[in-house]
Amino acid sequence: MKYISPSLLSADFGNLQRDLEMLNASDCDWLHVDVMDGMFVPNISFGQPVIKFIKKHAQKPLDVHLMIMDPGRYINDFKEAGADIITVHYEACTHLDRTLHAIKDAGLKCGVVLNPGTAVSLLEDTIQLCDVALLMSVNPGFGGQKFIENTYSKVRQLRALCDRKNPSCLIEIDGGVNTENASKLFEAGADVLVAGNAVFKSDNPAETIKALKK
Protein backbone atom coordinates (compact mmCIF):
# COMPACT_ATOMS: atom_id res chain seq x y z
CA MET A 1 0.00 0.00 0.00
CA LYS A 2 1.22 3.53 -0.77
CA TYR A 3 -0.98 6.06 0.99
CA ILE A 4 -0.32 9.74 1.66
CA SER A 5 -2.02 11.46 4.60
CA PRO A 6 -1.32 15.23 4.51
CA SER A 7 -1.20 16.77 7.99
CA LEU A 8 -3.68 19.62 8.32
CA LEU A 9 -1.58 21.07 11.15
CA SER A 10 0.44 22.75 8.38
CA ALA A 11 -2.62 23.96 6.43
CA ASP A 12 -3.68 27.61 6.32
CA PHE A 13 -6.42 27.84 8.95
CA GLY A 14 -7.61 31.13 7.48
CA ASN A 15 -8.24 29.31 4.21
CA LEU A 16 -9.03 25.84 5.47
CA GLN A 17 -11.88 25.23 3.06
CA ARG A 18 -9.65 26.15 0.11
CA ASP A 19 -6.93 23.77 1.35
CA LEU A 20 -9.46 20.96 1.87
CA GLU A 21 -10.78 21.40 -1.67
CA MET A 22 -7.22 21.19 -2.98
CA LEU A 23 -6.72 17.93 -1.03
CA ASN A 24 -10.08 16.53 -2.23
CA ALA A 25 -8.92 17.01 -5.82
CA SER A 26 -5.42 15.62 -5.13
CA ASP A 27 -4.07 12.05 -5.07
CA CYS A 28 -3.91 11.95 -1.26
CA ASP A 29 -5.69 9.08 0.49
CA TRP A 30 -6.40 10.18 4.06
CA LEU A 31 -6.40 13.51 5.88
CA HIS A 32 -4.20 13.52 8.98
CA VAL A 33 -5.69 15.47 11.89
CA ASP A 34 -3.35 16.22 14.83
CA VAL A 35 -5.03 16.80 18.19
CA MET A 36 -2.70 18.12 20.94
CA ASP A 37 -3.62 18.86 24.55
CA GLY A 38 -0.64 20.82 25.90
CA MET A 39 -0.02 18.00 28.42
CA PHE A 40 1.02 14.90 26.50
CA VAL A 41 2.85 17.20 24.08
CA PRO A 42 3.96 20.78 24.76
CA ASN A 43 1.73 22.25 22.05
CA ILE A 44 -2.07 22.79 21.80
CA SER A 45 -3.66 22.44 18.35
CA PHE A 46 -7.43 22.13 17.92
CA GLY A 47 -10.34 19.92 18.91
CA GLN A 48 -13.79 18.69 17.93
CA PRO A 49 -15.34 21.95 16.59
CA VAL A 50 -12.58 22.32 14.00
CA ILE A 51 -12.74 18.62 13.10
CA LYS A 52 -16.50 18.92 12.51
CA PHE A 53 -15.81 21.68 10.01
CA ILE A 54 -13.06 19.60 8.36
CA LYS A 55 -15.47 16.66 8.08
CA LYS A 56 -18.09 18.83 6.40
CA HIS A 57 -15.71 19.67 3.54
CA ALA A 58 -13.49 16.56 3.38
CA GLN A 59 -14.05 13.80 0.84
CA LYS A 60 -11.38 11.46 2.30
CA PRO A 61 -11.19 9.53 5.56
CA LEU A 62 -10.11 11.51 8.63
CA ASP A 63 -7.03 9.96 10.22
CA VAL A 64 -7.21 11.44 13.73
CA HIS A 65 -3.93 11.31 15.70
CA LEU A 66 -4.66 11.94 19.37
CA MET A 67 -1.67 13.40 21.20
CA ILE A 68 -3.63 13.70 24.44
CA MET A 69 -3.43 12.04 27.86
CA ASP A 70 -5.95 9.25 28.50
CA PRO A 71 -7.54 9.46 25.03
CA GLY A 72 -10.08 6.80 26.02
CA ARG A 73 -12.11 9.62 27.63
CA TYR A 74 -12.85 11.18 24.25
CA ILE A 75 -13.46 8.35 21.75
CA ASN A 76 -17.15 9.08 21.28
CA ASP A 77 -16.57 12.83 21.01
CA PHE A 78 -14.10 12.32 18.16
CA LYS A 79 -16.37 9.80 16.51
CA GLU A 80 -19.17 12.37 16.56
CA ALA A 81 -16.80 15.02 15.22
CA GLY A 82 -16.17 12.81 12.18
CA ALA A 83 -13.11 10.63 12.80
CA ASP A 84 -12.80 7.50 10.61
CA ILE A 85 -9.50 6.28 12.07
CA ILE A 86 -8.32 7.07 15.60
CA THR A 87 -4.73 6.46 16.68
CA VAL A 88 -3.67 6.77 20.32
CA HIS A 89 -0.22 6.88 21.89
CA TYR A 90 1.15 3.85 23.72
CA GLU A 91 2.71 6.35 26.17
CA ALA A 92 -0.61 8.13 26.90
CA CYS A 93 -2.83 5.12 27.70
CA THR A 94 -2.95 3.37 31.06
CA HIS A 95 -5.40 0.82 29.62
CA LEU A 96 -4.35 0.54 26.00
CA ASP A 97 -6.24 -2.69 25.28
CA ARG A 98 -9.46 -1.19 26.63
CA THR A 99 -9.02 2.00 24.61
CA LEU A 100 -8.40 0.10 21.36
CA HIS A 101 -11.52 -1.99 21.96
CA ALA A 102 -13.52 1.19 22.64
CA ILE A 103 -12.45 2.62 19.26
CA LYS A 104 -13.36 -0.63 17.47
CA ASP A 105 -16.68 -0.86 19.33
CA ALA A 106 -17.46 2.67 18.12
CA GLY A 107 -17.17 1.28 14.58
CA LEU A 108 -13.91 3.08 13.74
CA LYS A 109 -10.49 1.88 12.66
CA CYS A 110 -7.93 1.97 15.45
CA GLY A 111 -4.19 2.19 15.87
CA VAL A 112 -1.33 2.63 18.31
CA VAL A 113 1.35 5.33 17.96
CA LEU A 114 4.91 4.97 19.30
CA ASN A 115 7.18 7.90 20.13
CA PRO A 116 10.75 7.75 18.76
CA GLY A 117 11.99 6.59 22.18
CA THR A 118 9.51 3.70 22.49
CA ALA A 119 10.49 0.20 21.34
CA VAL A 120 8.53 -1.58 18.59
CA SER A 121 8.54 -4.76 20.72
CA LEU A 122 6.02 -3.08 23.07
CA LEU A 123 3.37 -3.60 20.37
CA GLU A 124 3.65 -7.39 20.76
CA ASP A 125 0.39 -7.63 22.75
CA THR A 126 -1.76 -5.10 20.87
CA ILE A 127 -0.71 -5.38 17.23
CA GLN A 128 -3.40 -7.99 16.56
CA LEU A 129 -6.06 -5.36 17.45
CA CYS A 130 -4.60 -2.64 15.23
CA ASP A 131 -5.74 -1.55 11.77
CA VAL A 132 -2.78 0.85 11.78
CA ALA A 133 0.47 1.11 13.73
CA LEU A 134 2.09 4.54 13.60
CA LEU A 135 5.77 5.24 14.22
CA MET A 136 6.67 8.84 15.08
CA SER A 137 9.77 9.89 13.16
CA VAL A 138 10.03 13.11 15.20
CA ASN A 139 9.15 13.84 18.82
CA PRO A 140 5.47 14.78 18.61
CA GLY A 141 4.20 18.31 19.17
CA PHE A 142 5.23 20.36 16.16
CA GLY A 143 5.30 20.25 12.39
CA GLY A 144 8.46 21.00 10.43
CA GLN A 145 10.96 19.00 12.50
CA LYS A 146 13.88 16.93 11.22
CA PHE A 147 13.31 13.26 10.38
CA ILE A 148 14.98 10.80 12.81
CA GLU A 149 17.07 8.31 10.76
CA ASN A 150 16.63 5.44 13.24
CA THR A 151 13.03 5.20 11.95
CA TYR A 152 14.05 2.97 8.99
CA SER A 153 15.20 0.18 11.28
CA LYS A 154 12.03 0.52 13.37
CA VAL A 155 9.90 0.22 10.21
CA ARG A 156 11.65 -3.05 9.34
CA GLN A 157 11.12 -4.39 12.88
CA LEU A 158 7.46 -3.41 12.78
CA ARG A 159 7.02 -5.02 9.33
CA ALA A 160 8.41 -8.27 10.76
CA LEU A 161 6.06 -8.06 13.76
CA CYS A 162 3.04 -7.39 11.49
CA ASP A 163 4.01 -10.25 9.14
CA ARG A 164 4.08 -12.55 12.15
CA LYS A 165 0.95 -11.38 13.99
CA ASN A 166 -1.26 -9.15 11.82
CA PRO A 167 -0.29 -8.93 8.12
CA SER A 168 -3.19 -6.59 7.26
CA CYS A 169 -2.09 -3.91 9.75
CA LEU A 170 -0.92 -0.75 7.94
CA ILE A 171 2.35 0.89 8.95
CA GLU A 172 2.15 4.68 9.13
CA ILE A 173 5.06 7.12 9.56
CA ASP A 174 4.66 10.67 10.89
CA GLY A 175 7.19 13.49 11.12
CA GLY A 176 9.75 15.03 8.79
CA VAL A 177 8.59 13.02 5.76
CA ASN A 178 9.62 14.59 2.44
CA THR A 179 10.33 13.70 -1.19
CA GLU A 180 13.88 12.64 -0.19
CA ASN A 181 12.95 9.96 2.34
CA ALA A 182 9.46 8.85 1.16
CA SER A 183 10.57 6.13 -1.27
CA LYS A 184 13.06 4.74 1.27
CA LEU A 185 10.26 4.51 3.85
CA PHE A 186 7.95 2.69 1.43
CA GLU A 187 10.83 0.32 0.57
CA ALA A 188 11.45 -0.37 4.27
CA GLY A 189 7.82 -1.47 4.61
CA ALA A 190 5.72 1.62 5.34
CA ASP A 191 2.18 1.86 3.90
CA VAL A 192 1.04 5.36 4.90
CA LEU A 193 3.17 8.52 5.03
CA VAL A 194 2.01 11.63 6.86
CA ALA A 195 3.38 14.87 5.44
CA GLY A 196 2.73 18.37 6.78
CA ASN A 197 5.31 20.93 5.78
CA ALA A 198 6.49 18.93 2.75
CA VAL A 199 3.00 19.32 1.24
CA PHE A 200 1.77 22.68 2.46
CA LYS A 201 5.02 24.65 2.19
CA SER A 202 5.67 23.44 -1.35
CA ASP A 203 4.87 25.56 -4.42
CA ASN A 204 2.55 22.88 -5.77
CA PRO A 205 1.03 20.74 -3.00
CA ALA A 206 -0.88 18.43 -5.37
CA GLU A 207 2.30 17.68 -7.36
CA THR A 208 4.23 17.10 -4.12
CA ILE A 209 1.61 14.55 -3.04
CA LYS A 210 2.13 12.76 -6.37
CA ALA A 211 5.91 12.88 -5.93
CA LEU A 212 5.68 11.47 -2.38
CA LYS A 213 3.69 8.50 -3.74
CA LYS A 214 6.22 7.60 -6.45
Residues that bind ligand DX5 (CB under 6 A): 7, 9-10, 32, 34, 65, 138, 140-145, 174-177, 194-198
Query: How far, CA to CA in Å, does 165 sit from each of 4, 112, 147?
Result: 24, 15, 28
Indicate which of ligand DX5, Zn ion, none lies near residue 134 (CB less than 5 to 8 Å, by partner kind).
Answer: none
Q: In the bound complex, which residue of the shown chain has the CB atom lying closest to Zn ion?
A: 65
Q: Is 174 known to be catalytic?
A: yes
Please give the residue ranges that form the binding site for Zn ion (CB under 5 A): 34, 65, 174
Indicate which of ligand DX5, Zn ion, none lies near residue 205 (CB less than 5 to 8 Å, by partner kind).
Answer: none
CA distance 3 to 1: 6
CA distance 27 to 200: 14
Closest separation in Å from C-beta 164 to Zn ion: 26
Q: In the bound complex, which residue of the shown chain has the CB atom lying closest to ligand DX5?
A: 196
Closest separation in Å from C-beta 6 to ligand DX5: 9
Return the number of the residue (105 or 177) whose C-beta is nearest Zn ion. Answer: 177
CA distance 66 to 194: 14
Return the number of the residue (103 or 165) whose C-beta is nearest Zn ion. Answer: 103
Closest separation in Å from C-beta 6 to Zn ion: 11
Closest separation in Å from C-beta 65 to Zn ion: 4
Closest separation in Å from C-beta 5 to Zn ion: 9
Indicate which of Zn ion, ligand DX5, none lies near residue 159 (CB less than 5 to 8 Å, by partner kind).
Answer: none
What sections of the chain are H helices per DSSP?
Answer: 16-25, 48-57, 75-81, 96-105, 151-165, 182-188, 197-200, 205-213
Q: CB neighbours of 56 closer than 8 A, spacing ≥ 6?
A: none
The vertex-28 CA angle with 23 and 29, nearest 5°, equals: 120
Indicate which of ligand DX5, Zn ion, none lies near residue 141 (CB less than 5 to 8 Å, by partner kind).
Answer: ligand DX5
Return the number of the residue (63 or 131) whose C-beta is nearest ligand DX5. Answer: 63
Helix (H/G/I), strand (E/B), else coil: 142: coil
Return the number of the residue (37 or 164) whose C-beta is nearest ligand DX5. Answer: 37
Size of the chain in residues: 214
Q: What are phi and psi of 109, to 5 degrees?
A: -85, 145
Q: CB neighbours of 66 closer than 8 A, spacing ≥ 6?
A: 35, 74, 78, 86, 87, 88, 89, 92
Active site residues: 34, 174
